Amino acid sequence: MKTGFAFEDGAIVPVAAAERMDIVLYTTPDEYEKREVVERLAMDPYDLESALDADEISRVEFSGDCVSIIWKQPKNVSVGEQLRFDVGSIGLFLHQNRLIVIVSENAPSLTARQFKRCTSPVDVLLKLLEHTVRHYLGHLKVIKQITAELGAKITGTMENQYLLQMLVIGESLIYYVNAIEANSGVLGKLQTQMPRLRLTPDQIDKLHDIAVDNQQCARQARIYSDVVSGLMDARGTIVNNNMNVLLKNLTL
In percent, how much of the chain has pLDDT > 70?
A: 88
For 81-134, the pLDDT digits (tens) are: 677 888 999 999 988 788 999 998 878 888 778 788 888 899 999 999 999 999
For 29-85, the pLDDT digits (tens) are: 888 888 888 887 778 888 888 888 888 899 999 887 788 999 999 988 766 667 788
Residue 58 and residue 108: Cα distance in Å, rounded?
Answer: 18
What does the pLDDT read at residue 157?
60
| Range with lowest mean pLDDT among 138-147, 189-198, 219-228 | 189-198
Residue 140 and residue 85: Cα distance in Å, rounded?
Answer: 10
